[in-house]
Structure 1
Amino acid sequence: MPTKAVTDASFADDVLNSTTPVLVDFWADWCGPCKMIAPALEEISDELEGKVTIAKMDIMENTNVPGEIGVQSIPLMVLFKDGKPVAQKLGAAPKSQLKGWLESVL
């Protein structure tokens, strides 16, 4: 399943009210490391389909949720379970590290 774009308006429905865990990747178009991990997140989304939804939120187009959560650096990945943030990872990493981290916190 491809990653899902979420917005300030869809965040509650897509993330907080989700019955499965959701990993939100906070990113921006000008962020090189964000672009570097995007293909890995797409692959992980396919590999872990059914276990987790991977969502992407552009912090330049959506400022409310990142402001409420306190996003100060990107890329920032925050895992939400039952509507609450339970884990986060800051910065780019190879796919194997991203997937290993995600599987360890699911």
Structure 2
Amino acid sequence: MANIIEANAATFDDLLTNDLPVVIDFWAPWCGPCRMLSPVVDEIAGELEGKIVVAKCNVDENQDLAMKYGVMSIPTIVMLKGGSEVMRSVGAVPKPKLKGDIEANL
């Protein structure tokens, strides 16, 4: 199982300095589509282990991070490379689409 980091104010700066691309799942526990997408993100994290770092950011607990990245609806997946956004996916998308979008930006 891949190591998935909890993204919050304390861990976020370290995420941005990572050599690997960082995929952040912005979610909330009350969000149905987020709960549907979460296992998909977990699977992709395992399949692409060593190629990406995956983090999950609870928007209820980290509203400042959600605002910083312009997250208006959840789930939102943001991929950062060198600290810059290279990919964004909003809503519960099928695994092949999400994985393909991530791999296209590796």
Q: Is TM-score (shorter-chain normalized) higher than 0.5?
A: yes
Runs of 5+ consecutive residues of structure 1 not aligned to the other structure: none
Give yes or no for contact 2:87–2:101 (8 Å, CA) kept in 1.
no
Tell me by how many angstroms 1:85 deviates.
1.2
1:36 aligned residue: 36
- Counterparts of 2:85 and 2:79, CA distance in 1: 6
- The residue identity in structure 2 corresponding to 1:7 is N
Could you tell me which amino acid in structure 2 is paired with residue 76 of structure 1? Answer: T
Give the C-alpha shift of residue 38 in structure 1. 0.7
The answer to whether the Cα contact below 8 Å between 1:27 and 1:34 also exists between their aligned partners in 2 is yes
Residue 27 of structure 2 is matched in structure 1 by 27
Counterpart Cα distance in 2 of 1:94 and 1:3: 20
The TM-score, its normalising length taken from structure 2, stands at: 0.93
Letter in 2 for 1:6: A
What is the rounded CA distance, in whole Å, between the counterparts of 2:41 and 2:93 in structure 1?
A: 11
Give the length in aligned residue pairs.
105
The structural deviation recorded for 1:21 is: 0.4
| Structure 1 ranges of 4+ moved more than 2 A | none
Q: Are the counterparts in 2 of residues 75 and 90 from structure 1 also a CA contact under 8 Å?
A: yes
Task: Tell me if 1:74 matches 2:81.
Answer: no
Identity among equivalent pairs (%): 44
Task: Output the aligned Cα RMSD.
Answer: 1.0
